[in-house]
Structure 1
Amino acid sequence: MPEGPSILLMKENLQKFVDKKVMESSGNAKFDKEVLKNKTLKEIRTFGKQTYLIFNEFAVRIHLLMFGSYSIDEQTKPDKNLRLSLVFKKGGIYIYNCSVKLVDLAFLAKIDWEADVMSDQWNPEKARQKLIANPKMMVCDALMNQDIFSGVGNIIKNEVLFRIGVQPESLLGNLPSGKLEELIAEARNYSFDFLKWKRDFVLKKHWLVHTKSICPKCGEKLIKKQTGLGKRRSFYCSNDQKLY
């Protein structure tokens, strides 16, 4: 599943279509695509792992889920995979194998934009209060909770926890206040590192523990385990990451 930094790159790639009029619209998304015809794309906003194509009367919500993708200017996958295409005078947007929904603008007003770790509106204090309110939650679940850290996915989770030396099954209520602050700060810091490395096509070269087998600090074998309520893959070092 693409994480927040990849969705920001998607926004950048689609930006050339802002202020352009949709000439044709098709795809197998479950809404009337005709309503998009002759409408002008006013803005593109992202929230964590979601992309919003905003028009005057409504917005198109795109969530790539596990296997979604997109292409620009040409359709690269068969019609059965095509959820939505928006054709403009010059070029087009093609969205595949994901969730595409039409939402009203009131829906956007309900989104807690301050929960997006990569947004200028990111509010670390609000995140801290949410964490404090869930003392029995594992840190691995907290980082993956989109209401707290919107945009954080499994790669960011594993790398952040290694950076701050915390075992993924640690409970939030057991973390010293300093570690809690590190958790919040590094969720954002690593997300922007991720974005930089992704732009430079070197992201995987910078993974320290995600999908790795040997700890880069002590040389011991990393533990690979499904952790938390979501049973997502965690990679961690029992020597260098403390269980709180």
Structure 2
Amino acid sequence: MPEGPTIVLMKEDLRKFVGEKVISAVGNARIDRDELVGKTLKEIRLYGKQTYLIFDEVSVRIHLLMFGSYEIDEQTKPDKSLKLGLTFKKGKMLFYTCSVKLVDDAFLKTVDWEADVMSDDWSPKKAKEKLKSQPKMMVCDALMDQEIFSGVGNIIKNEVMFRIGVHPESPVGNLPTKKLNDLIEEARNYSFDFLKWKRIDQLKKHWQVYHQKKCPKCGEEIIRKDTGKGKRSSFYCEKDQKLY
């Protein structure tokens, strides 16, 4: 599943269409595509892994899910995979194997934009309040909670826990104040590092524990285990990541 930084890169690719009118809309998403024709793309907003194409009176929410993708201008994938294709004067945006929904302005007002770890609106204070309200939640689950850390995925989760030296199964309420602050800070810091490395196609080169065999600090074996309520894969070093 694409994580927040990858969606930021997608937004940058789509930005050229802002201010343009939709000439045609195609695809097999179960929406009223005609409602988009003639509408002007006013803005593109992100909420973690979700992309909002904001038009007059209506907006489109795109979620790439596990295997979604997009293309600009040229369609190279089959029509059966095309969920939504919008044609503008400057070209096309095409979304495949993803979730597409129409939402109204009232819905947009319910989105907690301050939960997006890569947004200028990001609120570490609010994230801390949410974490403190769920002291029994494991750190691995907390980082993947899109209501707290919107945009964080499994790569970021694992690398952040290694950076701060915390075992994934540690309950949030057991973390010392400094570690809790580190968790919040590094969720954002690593997301921007992810973006930087992704731009130059060097993300995997910088993985410390994710799908690695040996700890880069002590040389011990990296443990792989499905952890938390979500049973997502965690990669960690038992020596360098403390279980609180």
TM-score range, shorter chain: over 0.9
Question: Aligned equivalents of 2:74 and 2:228: distance in 1?
Answer: 41
Partner secondary structure for residue 70 of structure 1:
strand
What letter corresponds to residue 241 of structure 2 in structure 1?
Answer: Q
Q: Detail structure 1 runs of 4+ shifted over 3 Å in the superposition.
A: none
Partner secondary structure for residue 190 of structure 1:
helix
Paired position in structure 1 for 2:80: 80
Question: Aligned equivalents of 1:91 and 1:120: distance in 2?
Answer: 29
Superposed displacement of residue 38, structure 1 = 1.2
Instruction: Report whether the alignment pairs 1:166 with 2:166.
Output: yes
Where does 1:151-190 land on structure 2 (aligned, <5 Å)? 151-190=151-190
What is the CA deviation profile of residues 152-171 of structure 1, one whole-angstrom value per residue up to 9, with x for unaligned ones?
00000000000000000000
Paired position in structure 1 for 2:24: 24
Task: Give the number of equivalent residue pairs.
Answer: 244
Superposed displacement of residue 105, structure 1 = 1.2
Question: Aligned equivalents of 2:58 and 2:23: distance in 1?
Answer: 17
Question: Aligned equivalents of 1:25 and 1:187: distance in 2?
Answer: 37
Superposed displacement of residue 32, structure 1 = 1.3
Question: Aligned equivalents of 1:80 and 1:192: distance in 2?
Answer: 34
Question: Aligned equivalents of 1:76 and 1:46: distance in 2?
Answer: 25
Alignment TM-score, normalising by the size of structure 1: 0.99
Question: Aligned equivalents of 2:173 and 2:31: distance in 1?
Answer: 44
Partner secondary structure for residue 62 of structure 2:
strand
Alignment TM-score, normalising by the size of structure 2: 0.99
What is the CA deviation profile of residues 151-209 of structure 1, one whole-angstrom value per residue up to 9, with x for unaligned ones?
00000000000000000000011100110000000000000000111111111100000
Superposed displacement of residue 90, structure 1 = 2.4
Paired position in structure 1 for 2:198: 198
Instruction: Report whether the alignment pairs 1:207 with 2:243.
Output: no
What letter corresponds to residue 57 of structure 2 in structure 1?
Answer: E
Question: Aligned equivalents of 2:87 and 2:129: distance in 1?
Answer: 44
Question: Aligned equivalents of 1:16 and 1:155: distance in 2?
Answer: 29
What letter corresponds to residue 132 of structure 1 in structure 2?
Answer: K
Superposed displacement of residue 231, structure 1 = 0.4
Paired position in structure 2 for 1:93: 93
RMSD across aligned C-alpha pairs, in angstroms? 0.6
What is the CA deviation profile of residues 120-154 of structure 1, one whole-angstrom value per residue up to 9, with x for unaligned ones?
11110111111111110000000000000000000
Partner secondary structure for residue 135 of structure 2:
coil
Question: Aligned equivalents of 2:82 and 2:62: distance in 1?
Answer: 13
Partner secondary structure for residue 46 of structure 1:
strand
Paired position in structure 1 for 2:119: 119
Paired position in structure 2 for 1:6: 6
Paired position in structure 2 for 1:58: 58
Paired position in structure 2 for 1:104: 104
Q: Which runs of 5+ in 1 are unaligned?
A: none
Partner secondary structure for residue 52 of structure 2:
strand
Q: Which runs of 5+ in 2 are unaligned?
A: none
Question: Aligned equivalents of 2:110 and 2:66: distance in 1?
Answer: 25
What letter corresponds to residue 178 of structure 1 in structure 2?
Answer: K
Superposed displacement of residue 76, structure 1 = 1.5
Partner secondary structure for residue 84 of structure 1:
strand
What letter corresponds to residue 195 of structure 1 in structure 2?
Answer: L
